[in-house]
Homo-oligomer: A and B are copies of this chain.
């Protein structure tokens, strides 16, 4: 069985390491992180077997590398791995929320290695770091894989197998569809939730906490996510996010104008079909 190196041992990297430990897919799991205290903590928690202090040495010893670093650093890391592994067999995959910008960067500088499998788990939490790592984080969640023309099938099959071993449902799609759809289902909701909390934070006639119920807490939970990470995600997928925003914005305006002008039947029709759509979203996950 192969040896895994996890680069970036926070919530996602740590959860994958725990899931692989539970599934028994690897003989040995090492971790490397730009912040040495994070790998130290992951080791203390038993998330990884050992700390790879030196990135290059860690890569040299690994059969598989999970890249769980900020998106702007992914392409550079793939290049360093390529330089290190040469013709040795290796399987490398990432968990980045945006695919197009990373693949464009790789193509501009040396190409997309056949062993690099872009992947993206639709899982996460406003919690961060190895302390929040959870072997079941990916269970029954979607993981999107975007194979490239350069990809070799064996690498792809291994990565799909590991995600399935972690309990995930794997969906294969194109880079473009991935980036458009996550702009819709993840990036735009984060933008809206952040903007909403920013407005709640302004001066109001009462104290928002006194009027907060469980619905508000659900609606705004994603605004508790890391600001630096979301700056990067929104910037890397800017065109798709803005396109979704513009479309949604028109749809919101229509609804608001129904309310403003007292067109209550039209308003209720939109609410009813939105509710039905929400019901279909819940079909697979029972929530």
Contacts and interface: CB of A to CB of B under 8 A. Distances in A.
A52 to B, nearest CB: 29
A282 B211 CA distance: 12
Interface in A241-287: 241-242, 244-245, 247-248, 251-252, 255-256, 259-260, 262, 264, 267-268, 270-285, 287
A177 B205 contact: yes
B195 A182 contact: no
B238 A211 contact: no
A30 to B, nearest CB: 28
Contacts of A285: 212, 214, 217
A231 B268 contact: yes
Given A206-B181, A259-B234, A278 B173 contact: no
Interface residues of A, number: 95
A184 B204 contact: yes
Contact of A181 (B191, B198, B210, B224): B210
A185 B205 contact: no
Contacts of A272: 227
Interface string A186-228: 1011111111111111101110111111111111111111111
A162 interface: no
Contacts of A217: 281-282, 285, 287
B209 A186 contact: no
A282 B251 CA distance: 30
Contact of A197 (B195, B234, B278): B278
A253 to B, nearest CB: 9
B259 A213 contact: no
A219 B197 contact: no
A153 interface: no
Contacts of A176: 205
Most buried by B among A144, A200, A220, A287: A200
- Rank and list the top 3 A-B pairs by shortest CB-CB distance, nearest first: A122-B213, A201-B277, A227-B271
Given A176-B205, A201-B277, 7 more contacts: A194-B255, A195-B274, A197-B278, A200-B277, A209-B280, A230-B271, A231-B268
